[in-house]
Amino acid sequence: MSKPDDYEVYAIKYATLERKASENFIGGDPHEAASNLDYYVWLARSTTRTFVIDTGFDAAVAKRRGRKMIAPPDESLKRLGVDPGAVKDVIITHLHYDHVGNFGLFPAASFHLQDEEMAYATGRHMAQGFFNYAYEAGEVAAMVREVYKGRVRFHDGDAELAPGLSLHRIGGHTKGLQAVRVHTRIGWIVLASDAAHLYANMNETRPFPIVFDAGAMVEGYRRLRELADAPELIVPGHDPLVMRRYAPPRAGLRGIAVRLDRRPRL
């Protein structure tokens, strides 16, 4: 492996959902407190490369599924100096509606996806509501069309996309879910996406209820710790605490974006 570059990494919050803790843990939660979910896309950029990680959902899907939109992801990316029309690399951690909607906003990009995720999203399990609930058939079909245009870059397991940035298939939540490991000035951090929805799912080994393989999900928590330089450098996919542990890049982006390549406040 070549010497890793240092990346600036951002979590960009675009939507939110209020709900009870019992909905976020298999077997429920004895405290029955609120446990909201935030929705994020992520940006990793070095002096030479820009990677957008996931693309979020649009206003129409937000309305239909009852999620509250905070700011469209493409507008927040522009505020961070990224032109979505010029982005070359978009990593799709998995094909759930809250991670792959809006991919049409990136006309110049290749989409990095695990073989296993496309097989899962187009295969036998999608005949069951339990597994297909978080997929939008139209979005999956649209991504299949991108395959025929040569725009999907498939990966099978671990893959280095650039010095300092790699993909790691975790599975669990969906069959082909991948996490992203990024080198920064504070070391290797891991964008877990939905390999860990909340810090508590991972730290207390209480899996999230939308799951293909609970065993792989729990193994995934261990794998994330292996990939990161320290457990606190794993960034969960939907935890509102991310917005509190990290600082915004500038005051005007408070509540919208935080810098993940600076040490979190614990």
- Residue 82 has which token pair? 């990224």
- DSSP assignment letter at 34: B
Can residue 38 be called a binding residue for Zn ion (CB under 5 A)? no
Helix, coil or strand: residue 181: strand
Interface pattern 56-95 for Zn ion (x via CB under 5 A): ----------------------------------------
**Which of 8, 54, 58, 98 touches Zn ion by CB under 5 A?**
98
- Residue 67 has which token pair? 């999620």
Number of neighbouring beta carbons within 10 Å of residue 128:
9
| Segment interacting with Zn ion, rule: CB under 5 A, options 5-13, 27-35, 57-65, 96-104 | 96-104
Site for Zn ion in 190-209 (CB under 5 A): 194
Distance, CA of 189 to CA of 183 (rounded, Å) = 6
| Segment interacting with Zn ion, rule: CB under 5 A, options 18-26, 27-35, 62-70, 189-197 | 189-197
Nearer to Zn ion, 112 or 173 (CB): 173
Distance, CA of 96 to CA of 117 (rounded, Å) = 10
We find the least distance from the C-beta atom of residue 177 to Zn ion, in angstroms, to be 9
We find the least distance from the C-beta atom of residue 48 to Zn ion, in angstroms, to be 29
We find the least distance from the C-beta atom of residue 126 to Zn ion, in angstroms, to be 17
As a 3-state breakdown, the chain gives helix, strand, coil percent values, each rounded to 5, of: 30, 25, 45
We find the least distance from the C-beta atom of residue 108 to Zn ion, in angstroms, to be 25
Distance, CA of 53 to CA of 125 (rounded, Å) = 25
Q: State the number of binding residues for Zn ion (CB under 5 A).
A: 2
Q: Is the dihedral of CA 197, 200, 201, 202 positive or negative?
A: positive
Beta strands 8-17 and 257-259 are: antiparallel
We find the least distance from the C-beta atom of residue 66 to Zn ion, in angstroms, to be 15
List residues near Zn ion by CB under 5 A. Answer: 98, 194
